[in-house]
Structure 1
Amino acid sequence: MPVILRLNGFRFFFYSNEGNPLEPAHIHVSKDGDEAKIWLDLQLLWPEMTVLMRAPCVKF
Protein backbone atom coordinates (compact mmCIF):
# COMPACT_ATOMS: atom_id res chain seq x y z
CA MET A 1 0.00 0.00 0.00
CA PRO A 2 1.59 3.29 -1.10
CA VAL A 3 2.03 5.86 1.69
CA ILE A 4 1.12 9.38 0.61
CA LEU A 5 2.20 11.28 3.73
CA ARG A 6 3.53 10.76 7.24
CA LEU A 7 2.70 13.61 9.61
CA ASN A 8 2.81 13.76 13.43
CA GLY A 9 2.56 9.99 13.72
CA PHE A 10 -0.30 9.73 11.20
CA ARG A 11 0.16 7.65 8.06
CA PHE A 12 -1.94 8.54 5.00
CA PHE A 13 -2.13 5.75 2.43
CA PHE A 14 -4.26 4.00 -0.17
CA TYR A 15 -4.72 0.53 -1.58
CA SER A 16 -4.22 0.38 -5.35
CA ASN A 17 -7.08 -2.03 -6.08
CA GLU A 18 -9.56 -1.93 -3.22
CA GLY A 19 -13.09 -3.23 -3.29
CA ASN A 20 -15.20 -5.19 -5.70
CA PRO A 21 -16.87 -3.20 -7.10
CA LEU A 22 -14.31 -0.42 -6.72
CA GLU A 23 -15.17 2.12 -4.04
CA PRO A 24 -15.29 5.89 -4.62
CA ALA A 25 -12.00 7.75 -4.16
CA HIS A 26 -10.77 7.71 -0.56
CA ILE A 27 -7.63 7.46 1.55
CA HIS A 28 -6.86 5.62 4.76
CA VAL A 29 -5.29 7.25 7.81
CA SER A 30 -3.74 5.28 10.65
CA LYS A 31 -2.03 6.05 13.94
CA ASP A 32 -1.26 3.84 16.94
CA GLY A 33 -3.19 0.88 15.52
CA ASP A 34 -6.37 2.87 14.78
CA GLU A 35 -7.50 3.43 11.20
CA ALA A 36 -10.01 5.67 9.44
CA LYS A 37 -11.20 5.98 5.86
CA ILE A 38 -11.64 9.48 4.42
CA TRP A 39 -13.83 9.83 1.33
CA LEU A 40 -12.61 12.40 -1.19
CA ASP A 41 -14.98 14.77 -2.96
CA LEU A 42 -13.20 15.40 -6.26
CA GLN A 43 -15.45 18.36 -7.05
CA LEU A 44 -14.14 20.15 -3.96
CA LEU A 45 -10.53 19.07 -4.42
CA TRP A 46 -10.23 19.72 -8.14
CA PRO A 47 -13.30 21.44 -9.63
CA GLU A 48 -11.72 22.00 -13.05
CA MET A 49 -11.10 18.27 -13.51
CA THR A 50 -14.72 17.31 -12.83
CA VAL A 51 -15.83 19.77 -15.51
CA LEU A 52 -13.36 18.24 -17.98
CA MET A 53 -14.49 14.72 -17.11
CA ARG A 54 -18.11 15.62 -17.94
CA ALA A 55 -17.27 17.47 -21.15
CA PRO A 56 -18.25 15.71 -24.38
CA CYS A 57 -15.48 14.20 -26.44
CA VAL A 58 -14.69 16.35 -29.46
CA LYS A 59 -13.43 14.58 -32.59
CA PHE A 60 -11.75 16.36 -35.46
Structure 2
Amino acid sequence: MPTLLRLGSYRFFCYAGDRDEPPHTHVERDQAQAKFWLTPVRLQSNKGFSRVEINRLQKLVEAHQEHLLEGWHDFFNH
Protein backbone atom coordinates (compact mmCIF):
# COMPACT_ATOMS: atom_id res chain seq x y z
CA MET A 1 0.00 0.00 0.00
CA PRO A 2 2.31 2.76 -1.23
CA THR A 3 1.89 6.28 0.07
CA LEU A 4 1.81 8.71 -2.84
CA LEU A 5 1.64 11.91 -0.78
CA ARG A 6 1.22 13.18 2.78
CA LEU A 7 -0.35 16.56 3.46
CA GLY A 8 -0.96 17.40 7.10
CA SER A 9 -3.08 14.64 8.59
CA TYR A 10 -4.04 13.24 5.16
CA ARG A 11 -2.39 10.24 3.54
CA PHE A 12 -2.89 9.71 -0.20
CA PHE A 13 -2.21 6.14 -1.30
CA CYS A 14 -3.17 3.25 -3.56
CA TYR A 15 -3.55 -0.47 -3.01
CA ALA A 16 -1.46 -3.00 -4.93
CA GLY A 17 -4.70 -4.61 -6.12
CA ASP A 18 -5.80 -1.37 -7.80
CA ARG A 19 -3.72 -2.07 -10.92
CA ASP A 20 -6.70 -2.90 -13.16
CA GLU A 21 -8.63 0.27 -12.29
CA PRO A 22 -8.16 3.73 -13.78
CA PRO A 23 -5.62 5.91 -11.92
CA HIS A 24 -6.98 7.05 -8.58
CA THR A 25 -5.97 7.81 -5.03
CA HIS A 26 -7.40 6.82 -1.70
CA VAL A 27 -7.23 9.47 1.02
CA GLU A 28 -7.41 8.71 4.71
CA ARG A 29 -7.44 10.60 7.96
CA ASP A 30 -8.18 8.74 11.17
CA GLN A 31 -11.08 6.40 10.32
CA ALA A 32 -12.36 8.40 7.33
CA GLN A 33 -11.47 7.38 3.78
CA ALA A 34 -12.32 8.65 0.30
CA LYS A 35 -11.39 7.63 -3.22
CA PHE A 36 -10.81 10.08 -6.08
CA TRP A 37 -10.34 9.26 -9.75
CA LEU A 38 -7.38 11.24 -11.12
CA THR A 39 -8.33 11.76 -14.79
CA PRO A 40 -10.49 13.74 -14.52
CA VAL A 41 -10.42 14.42 -10.79
CA ARG A 42 -13.74 13.40 -9.27
CA LEU A 43 -14.96 11.77 -6.10
CA GLN A 44 -15.65 8.05 -6.44
CA SER A 45 -16.50 7.18 -2.83
CA ASN A 46 -16.55 8.67 0.64
CA LYS A 47 -16.76 7.05 4.04
CA GLY A 48 -16.65 9.46 6.95
CA PHE A 49 -15.55 12.82 5.54
CA SER A 50 -17.91 15.81 5.72
CA ARG A 51 -18.95 17.57 2.50
CA VAL A 52 -16.75 20.55 3.48
CA GLU A 53 -13.73 18.28 3.93
CA ILE A 54 -14.45 16.43 0.67
CA ASN A 55 -14.41 19.78 -1.14
CA ARG A 56 -11.06 20.59 0.50
CA LEU A 57 -9.69 17.16 -0.46
CA GLN A 58 -10.84 17.53 -4.06
CA LYS A 59 -8.93 20.82 -4.30
CA LEU A 60 -5.83 19.13 -2.84
CA VAL A 61 -6.10 16.25 -5.33
CA GLU A 62 -6.49 18.74 -8.18
CA ALA A 63 -3.49 20.76 -6.98
CA HIS A 64 -1.32 17.63 -6.72
CA GLN A 65 -2.82 15.68 -9.62
CA GLU A 66 0.42 15.47 -11.60
CA HIS A 67 2.40 14.21 -8.60
CA LEU A 68 -0.29 11.64 -7.74
CA LEU A 69 -0.40 10.39 -11.34
CA GLU A 70 3.39 10.08 -11.43
CA GLY A 71 3.32 8.08 -8.20
CA TRP A 72 0.56 5.83 -9.55
CA HIS A 73 2.44 5.13 -12.79
CA ASP A 74 5.79 4.65 -11.01
CA PHE A 75 4.28 2.07 -8.66
CA PHE A 76 2.31 0.07 -11.24
CA ASN A 77 4.84 0.23 -14.09
CA HIS A 78 7.87 -0.94 -12.09
RMSD over equivalenced CA pairs, Å: 2.1
The structure richer in helix per residue is 2
1:15-34 matches, within 5 Å, as 15-18=15-18, 22-34=20-32
| The structure with more radius of gyration | 1
Report the TM-score when normalising by structure 2: 0.46
Show structure 2 runs of 5+ residues with no match: 41-64, 67-78
The higher relative CO (CA closer than 8 Å, separation ≥ 6) is in 2
Report the TM-score when normalising by structure 1: 0.57
SS in 2 for 1:27: strand
Structure 1 runs (4+) greater than 6 angstroms displaced: none
Q: How many residues align?
A: 42
